[in-house]
């Protein structure tokens, strides 16, 4: 009786946003009298960082420091419509709406600055630190605060902007399935190394090495958080979780975390991640949504690693010791495949 190691591979692509489109999101941006901006949304921050990523997108587009922007979201009286936080649509759809709203507000701010400075607005640029200056002449400058004050107290202009992003709904051909599902795809590849105990049937994930292509990592720490957590979830789906252990029978359904199994701290495998960025032509600053796809390659990579280790194919998830042992029994013992 012994333990066998094996490596499994899987790669995937992932559609970003609701399938077929037809899922708008809106944003409203306005400045207070001091040139500090508020972004109003109705999008949901599930912990993924919706408020942070839209804040950075607004600051980048407005050309002001991120500390000068806050995001207020999900009060239906004040936030304009958003379809919701699902289908990896938040960054892509809401991000684009925030860009549009911020561009409109920025244009007003630059117009106001131009009037104050008696120059053409097209000749102005922001330095991202709270200043607006003439291109090529940084000394001829005005602060964003002065511009916002001039707009609101001298010129009678509202420094605000509206944004919406909608991919029009695609038809589906009933006979061929022809459709435009989404406009943008993320990618990933995953190699999982497992160790299989041929006496107990237990598997342990030893290491994960992966690459994820996310368009652009708008906030690298948030991307890291998504990929690390998502891969853990994929590992959990592969070898731990189910609400119906004897599916399709409904017996023995777990009702708490004593029975609904998930990998604990001792089960977490080292995960080495490479992040690739091929900007999406219609993504906000090229960003795609990394949130959902990060779990997907882990499931098949785990079962492929089990096959590589002991020659047992597990086609029904989750991989349980019982399934592994039955497979070993059917094969007359472990049949390790080529080492990789």
Binding to other proteins in span 101-160, by CB under 8 A: 128
Determine, following the binding rule CB under 8 A, whether residue 221 of this chain makes contact with other proteins. yes
* 248: preceding bond cis by omega (within 30 degrees): yes
Name the helix (H) or strand (E) containing 192. strand 185-197
Using the rule CB under 8 A, give the single segment among 108-116, 146-154, 196-204, 279-287 that binds other proteins: 279-287
Taking the CB of residue 251, how many other CB atoms lie within 10 A of it? 8
**What span, in angstroms and rounded, lies between the C-alpha atoms of 120 and 1?**
80
Using the rule CB under 8 A, give the single segment among 107-115, 149-157, 194-202, 204-212 that binds other proteins: 204-212
The answer to whether 58 and 31 are in contact (CB under 8 A) is: no
Strand partners, 27: 163
Determine, following the binding rule CB under 8 A, whether residue 233 of this chain makes contact with other proteins. yes
Using the rule CB under 8 A, give the single segment among 80-88, 110-118, 135-143, 148-156 that binds other proteins: 80-88
C-alpha distance from residue 22 to each of 43, 86, 89, 271 (Å): 16, 14, 12, 37
Q: Which of 280, 309, 324, 328 binds other proteins (CB under 8 A)?
A: 280
Q: Which of 3, 30, 36, 45 binds other proteins (CB under 8 A)?
A: 45
Of the candidates 39, 93, 27, 47, the one whose C-alpha atom is nearest the C-alpha of residue 71 is 39
Q: Which of 28, 83, 150, 194 binds other proteins (CB under 8 A)?
A: 83
Q: Which of 132, 182, 235, 312 binds other proteins (CB under 8 A)?
A: 182
Q: Which of 1, 2, 47, 122 binds other proteins (CB under 8 A)?
A: 47
**What span, in angstroms and rounded, lies between the C-alpha atoms of 77 and 79?**
6
Q: Which of 123, 279, 321, 325 binds other proteins (CB under 8 A)?
A: 279
Q: Supply the minimum distance, in Å, between the C-beta of residue 143 and other proteins.
A: 16
Q: Supply the minimum distance, in Å, between the C-beta of residue 301 and other proteins.
A: 7
**Own/partner long-range contacts of 110-118 (Cβ < 8 Å, ≥24 apart):** 110/147, 111/151, 111/157, 112/147, 112/148, 112/150, 112/151, 112/155, 112/157, 112/159, 113/142, 113/146, 113/147, 113/150, 115/150, 115/155, 116/142, 116/146, 116/147, 116/150, 117/142
Q: How big is the site for other proteins, counted in residues (CB under 8 A)?
A: 131
Sign of the CA dihedral 94, 96, 101, 102?
positive
Q: Which of 38, 164, 206, 273 binds other proteins (CB under 8 A)?
A: 273
Q: Which of 10, 134, 203, 310 binds other proteins (CB under 8 A)?
A: 10
Cβ-based nearer residue to other proteins, 11 or 157:
11
The answer to whether 287 and 92 are in contact (CB under 8 A) is: yes
Determine, following the binding rule CB under 8 A, whether residue 237 of this chain makes contact with other proteins. yes
Tell me if residue 144 falls in helix, strand or coil: helix
Using the rule CB under 8 A, give the single segment among 27-35, 67-75, 107-115, 154-162 that binds other proteins: 67-75
Q: Which of 317, 324, 328, 334 binds other proteins (CB under 8 A)?
A: 317
Determine, following the binding rule CB under 8 A, whether residue 224 of this chain makes contact with other proteins. yes
Q: Which of 29, 117, 198, 212 binds other proteins (CB under 8 A)?
A: 212
């Amino acid at each position: 009786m012994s333990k066998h190691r094996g490596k499994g591979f899987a790669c995937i692509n992932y559609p970003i946003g609701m399938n077929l489109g037809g899922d708008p999101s809106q944003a409203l941006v306005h400045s207070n009298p001091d040139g500090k901006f508020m972004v109003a949304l109705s999008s949901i921050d599930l912990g993924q960082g919706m408020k942070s990523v839209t804040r950075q997108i607004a600051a980048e587009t407005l050309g002001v420091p991120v500390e000068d922007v806050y995001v207020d979201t999900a009060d239906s009286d004040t936030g304009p419509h958003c379809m919701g936080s699902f289908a990896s649509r938040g960054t892509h759809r809401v991000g684009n709406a925030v860009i549009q709203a911020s561009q409109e507000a920025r244009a007003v701010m630059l117009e106001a600055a131009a009037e104050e400075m008696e120059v053409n607005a097209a000749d102005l640029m922001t330095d991202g630190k709270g200043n607006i200056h003439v291109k090529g002449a940084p000394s001829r400058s005005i602060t964003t605060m002065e511009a916002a004050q001039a707009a609101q107290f001298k010129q009678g202009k509202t420094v605000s902007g509206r944004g919406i992003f909608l991919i029009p709904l695609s038809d589906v051909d009933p006979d061929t399935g022809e459709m435009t599902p989404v406009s943008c795809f993320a990618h990933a590849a995953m190699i999982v190394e497992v160790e299989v105990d041929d006496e107990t049937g237990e598997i342990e994930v030893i290491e994960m090495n992966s690459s994820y292509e996310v368009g652009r990592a708008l906030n690298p720490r948030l991307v890291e958080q998504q990929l690390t957590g998502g891969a853990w979830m994929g590992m959990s789906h592969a070898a731990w979780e189910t609400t119906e252990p004897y599916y399709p029978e409904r017996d023995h359904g777990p009702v708490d975390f004593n029975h609904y199994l998930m990998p604990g701290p001792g089960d977490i495998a080292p995960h080495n991640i490479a992040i690739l960025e091929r900007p999406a032509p219609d993504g906000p600053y090229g960003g795609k949504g990394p949130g959902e796809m990060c779990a997907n390659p882990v499931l098949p990579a785990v079962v492929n690693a089990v096959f590589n280790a002991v020659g047992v194919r597990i086609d029904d998830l989750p991989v349980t010791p019982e399934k592994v042992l039955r497979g070993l029994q059917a094969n007359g013992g472990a049949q390790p495949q080529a080492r990789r």
